[in-house]
Structure 1
Amino acid sequence: MFRSLTAVRSLSRPAVLRAGFATGPSASATTISDEMLEKLGGLSTQALVDGLWVMGWPCAQITGSRPLHPSHKTCGRAVTLNFVPARPDIAMDKPPAGESPEYEAFELCGPKDVLVMSSVGPWESVGGDIKFLRLMQRQIGGLVTDGSVRDTDEIINYGFPTFCHSTTAKQGPASMQPWEAQGVISCGGVVVRPGDAIIGDQDGVVVVPAAKAETVYNIAHGREVIEDIVKEELTKNPGPPGKFYPFMSGKIKHDSPLAKLLATKGITPENSNQFEGTADW
């Protein structure tokens, strides 16, 4: 664990215990621009997953995190918070009140940020109405967790997009304690670094590594353009989609039916990285 201002503030506590609650220098060295965030948010989560897949990256969808309300959609930079199982000495040594790591994380959030909270279990509560009132005040871009939330109606009324495993009436502190803000976490089986792009829609939540955001966008956007063309063709000329599918970005064969269809729309190996031998990742 790394020290930070959180650790320094609690001078009366043993350094070895304080350090676990500190903010670590684990943010990505790459900052995703607002323009790139907007582009990523305009793509579907499945297109983004496909983009990472063809690059050979691990699965990027946070398992079990679903929209709390059908209207919820989010895109922003990750602010991370990690929970650990409850233990009396951890509860005693945790920085008090507003200095707790969860509130440290809250204050880092704004309209273009998504708070990603790593729970110790899918049914454990990461928070409810009074805590999350502060997130509404911060005009947060979204909240994502592999755990559950409580006070569902109030959270929906707050208006910020929320993605979680489920809802619960259980109290969170009975099971877990906030441990660290802005560290590298595992959420729903996926690694999240502070500053990564978090995109959520009705199909779930995807993490796009900040350092690879532009490449992922280029692949995913190219795929969506091609899929629209294929869908248009199959709508005009109904038939099995196997004529054009499956295809993998960067491996469309130059003389295939798909390549010939794309050529009629001006998409060729000369201007697209979706063809065999043209991948730039």
Structure 2
Amino acid sequence: MKVTNIEGDERFDVMRSELYTPVVGDILDALGYRRQFLPPGIRAIREGMRVVGRAMTVLLTDVTGPQPRPFGRLTEALDQLEAGEVYLAQNATMPSAAWGEILTATARQRGAVGAVVDGYHRDTPKVLEQDFPVFSLGAYAQDSAVRSSVVDFRCRIRIGDVEIESGDIVFGDVDGVLIIPSAVEDEVIERALTKARTENVVRDAIERGMSSTEAFRVYGVL
């Protein structure tokens, strides 16, 4: 079945069941998209968490002290989340928690499938008990209300070296988080599935005694 014939949740189900970030990253490299992994410090808050969905991008900026509108447009952004989306935030520079218990509950209620923040999270036990994939720089309880503010969403953002548009695919697992630009998603997923399936064949051949040199010569993957 070709990826171009698979839409919506089914496409992401195939990614969840067969793909992993290393093989997708290899395909992005091969296509010339060599800066698609978010910074390596952004990790799942619990081992085994995976996320795949379309980005709803969110932009934060630094503030100092109490604000007339605490958190800026945060609640507006949360209330605009759609089913199957991933809340993806470019955080402000001042260290503070960009995600927590109530945001998790709101995102789940909206049908979102995960959150990835270029910053910290808090309320860790309360977030974990909701069984919702969250990727962050780590746990840090300092409040964001007097330190950062959401200024825009569904806009272009930049996290590390990665330029991200709302609607791009966010894919994260134990090895990190990457972004698949929507313009090339069909080709990336199709080629990644082929590579992943080939790697399964290569592993089987090696386990049956084939040398890695011969396996690479025959299959072209390692």
Would you say same fold, with TM above 0.5?
yes
| 3-state secondary structure, aligned to 1:84 | strand
Q: 2:56 aligns with which of 61, 74, 79?
A: 79
User: In structure 2, how many angstroms separate the alpha carbons of the residues matched to 1:69 and 1:116?
Assistant: 18
For each residue in 1:101-122, what CA deviation from the matched residue of structure 2 results, as whole angstroms up to 9, or x when unmatched?
2222212224411000111248
Shift of 1:147: 0.6
1:68 paired to 2:45: yes
Structure 2: stretches of 5+ with no match in the other structure: 1-5
1:233 paired to 2:205: yes
Q: What percentage of residue pairs aligned between the two structures are identical?
A: 22
Q: 2:126 aligns with which of 141, 154, 157?
A: 154
Name the counterpart of 1:257: 218
Name the counterpart of 2:150: 178
Read off the aligned partner of 2:54 and give its amino acid letter.
Answer: R
For each residue in 1:80-123, what CA deviation from the matched residue of structure 2 results, as whole angstroms up to 9, or x when unmatched?
1111111469x44xxx479x422222122244110001112484
Bigger mean CA offset, 105-114 vs 123-132:
123-132
For each residue in 1:6-45, what CA deviation from the matched residue of structure 2 results, as whole angstroms up to 9, or x when unmatched?
xxxxxxxxxxxxxxxxxxxxxxxxxx93133333333111
Q: 1:57 aligns with which of 33, 45, 54?
A: 33
Contact 1:65 1:188 in 2 (8 A): no
Contact 2:59 2:157 in 1 (8 A): yes
1 or 2 for the larger relative contact order (CA 8 Å, sep ≥6)? 2
Contact 2:64 2:146 in 1 (8 A): no
User: In structure 1, how many angstroms separate the alpha carbons of the residues matched to 2:214 and 2:96?
Assistant: 47
Structure 1: stretches of 5+ with no match in the other structure: 1-31, 246-255, 260-273, 275-281
User: In structure 1, how many angstroms separate the alpha carbons of the residues matched to 2:160 and 2:183?
Assistant: 21
Q: Which runs of 4+ in 1 moved over 4 A?
A: none
Give the alignment's TM-score, normalised by structure 2: 0.86
Please give the root-mean-square deviation of Cα atoms over the aligned residues, in Å: 2.4
Contact 1:244 1:258 in 2 (8 A): yes
User: In structure 2, how many angstroms separate the alpha carbons of the residues matched to 1:186 and 1:73?
Assistant: 22
Shift of 1:225: 1.5
Name the counterpart of 2:24: 48
Give the alignment's TM-score, normalised by structure 1: 0.69
Matches within 5 A, 1:20-31: none
Q: 1:106 aligns with which of 78, 82, 93?
A: 78
Name the counterpart of 2:213: 242
| 3-state secondary structure, aligned to 1:166 | coil
Change (3 A) 1:238 1:122: farther
Shift of 1:181: 0.9
Shift of 1:206: 1.2
Rg bigger for which structure?
Answer: 1
Change (3 A) 1:121 1:203: farther
| 3-state secondary structure, aligned to 2:28 | helix
Shift of 1:168: 0.4
Shift of 1:242: 3.1
